[in-house]
Amino acid sequence: MDLKTFLEELFSALANTDFVEDIDIKSEGIILSGRVSLQKDIFLNIYYNQLTGTIAFALIKKEERIWGIDKDNLRGWHLHPLGNASAHELVEPLSIREIVKQIKEIWPLL
């Protein structure tokens, strides 16, 4: 997926999310990184590398990851679950929309 498609899918998925306060996205060549400010003093870190296919979504509170989903060439797709964000649980590949849907589902628990 190219950066433009990734960004379009991300904005589309976040558009119907009522706890998003601000979106700050930067890109350098084939790499996109960003921070989505959310309510409850939480933010969503986002990283995408078009060349390697690396994807990382992490909910951060008080400078600590509290939840995340990543895809890299070492572990493949894996979840850092709420309550044990240092763990790596293998998961099936997810679309950006599915990742944002998971964030919406756990949001009431935060």
- Neighbouring residues of 74: CB distance < 8 A, sequence distance ≥ 6: none
Residue-by-residue DSSP string for 12-72: HHHTT-TTEEEEEEEEETTEEEEEEEESTTEEEEEEEETTT--EEEEEEETTEEEEEEEEE
Cross-sheet strand order for the sheet of 76-80: 20-28, 31-38, 42-49, 55-61, 64-72, 76-80, 89-90
Q: What is the pLDDT of residues 8-39, one digit of tens each?
A: 999 999 998 999 999 999 999 999 999 999 99
Using left for φ > 0, alpha for ψ between -120 and 50, and beta otherwise, residue 40 falls in left
- Which whole number is the average pLDDT over 38-55? 97
Confirm if 67 and 109 have CB atoms less than 8 A apart: no
Q: What is the pLDDT of residues 77-101, one digit of tens each?
A: 999 999 999 999 999 999 999 999 9
Please report the sign of the dihedral spanned by the C-alpha atoms of residue 85, residue 89, residue 93, residue 97.
Answer: negative
Q: What is the pTM of this model?
A: 0.94
Q: How distant is the alpha carbon of residue 107 from its chain centre?
A: 13
Q: Where are the domains of the chain?
A: 3-109
